[in-house]
Amino acid sequence: MARRFGIEGGIITVVAAAVVSLGIVGAVASGQLGGPSKAEADTLNSGQQSMRAPQNVRVDPSIAHASDRPGRSLNITIDDGPSPVWTPKVLEVLKKHDVKAVFCMIGPQARAHPDLVKQVVAAGHKLCDHTVSHNTGMDHQPERYQSQQILDAQKMIEDAAGGAKVEYYRAPGGAFTPYSRKLAADHGMRPLGWNVDSKDFESGSVEAIDATVRGEIGNGPTVLFHDGGGNRALTVASLDRLLPWMKQQGYGFGFPKR
């Protein structure tokens, strides 16, 4: 018997071993023998890629002012929130006039009010990183400090948003540095400036805000308002007056170019 199956037995043994090996490979691939599943492997690979380099590295590091909408267009930007009192009111006015905006949020404010961040995203608006501490002297701080302020805020806002990405970075008071612009761009955020400052933060009346915006509207498309940092009743009232006026002047509304 041994002689009869000498060669055949060897062939059978090899074939059997190959079948077993293929079975083990398949089992490992499917996760049956403790190896990573396809989903797990994809997750591991994704994690390794994100550790190697930030996502969206092709974002332009220059400061954006232009609109992504062709023709006569404006970008409405809202800073310093979210505020549980004023952000819902700003959202109501924007919805009333069918206008989308960019909300530049303070990290801890976003973390404290994730429901508002989600409302902003659900309404079709976009998110902007406005740092952790709103330090208008950011450009005089070391790079390590700038990095902490920008990246920590980005994480807080994105966590609060439940997955929506922060697409812009606005330095407090416009205190950009070459380092902060590149850092933001390397992490998927276009540095965002403004052309028209409504002065709603310091004006004493709706009429004053209205006059400021109307007087500066020819400077460029990106207009700055606030929904945080204090009583924003004048901002809400001004937006309610200015948005229909802007439409009457032939303006449409877009987002800053990415």
In-domain check, residue 204 = yes
108 and 234 in a single domain? The answer is yes
Total domains in the fold of the chain: 2
115 and 236 in a single domain? The answer is yes
Rounded Cα distance between 68 and 193, Å, is 14
Give 62-97 pLDDT, tens digit per residue: 999 999 999 999 999 999 999 999 999 999 999 999
142 and 18 in a single domain? The answer is no
Q: Which domain holds residue 161?
A: 73-253
Helix (H, G, I), strand (E, B) or coil at 144: helix
What residues are annotated to the active site?
79, 226
Give 231-252 pLDDT, tens digit per residue: 999 999 999 999 999 999 999 9
113 and 181 in a single domain? The answer is yes
99 and 167 in a single domain? The answer is yes
In-domain check, residue 78 = yes
**Domain containing 126 — which CATH number?**
3.20.20.370
81 and 159 in a single domain? The answer is yes
Give 125-147 pLDDT, tens digit per residue: 999 999 999 999 999 999 999 99
* Strands, E assignment, 132-256: 166-169, 190-191, 196-197, 222-226, 252-253
133 and 217 in a single domain? The answer is yes
pLDDT score for 55: 52
In-domain check, residue 215 = yes
Asked whether the beta carbons of 187 and 154 are under 8 A apart, the reply is yes
Report the DSSP pairing between strands 222-226 and 73-81.
Answer: parallel
14 and 48 in a single domain? The answer is yes
In-domain check, residue 134 = yes
In-domain check, residue 103 = yes
Residues 6 or more apart whose Cβ sits within 8 Å of residue 184: 59, 61, 129, 150, 169, 190, 191
Q: List the structure tokens of 96.
A: 């009333």
Asked whether the beta carbons of 90 and 198 are under 8 A apart, the reply is no
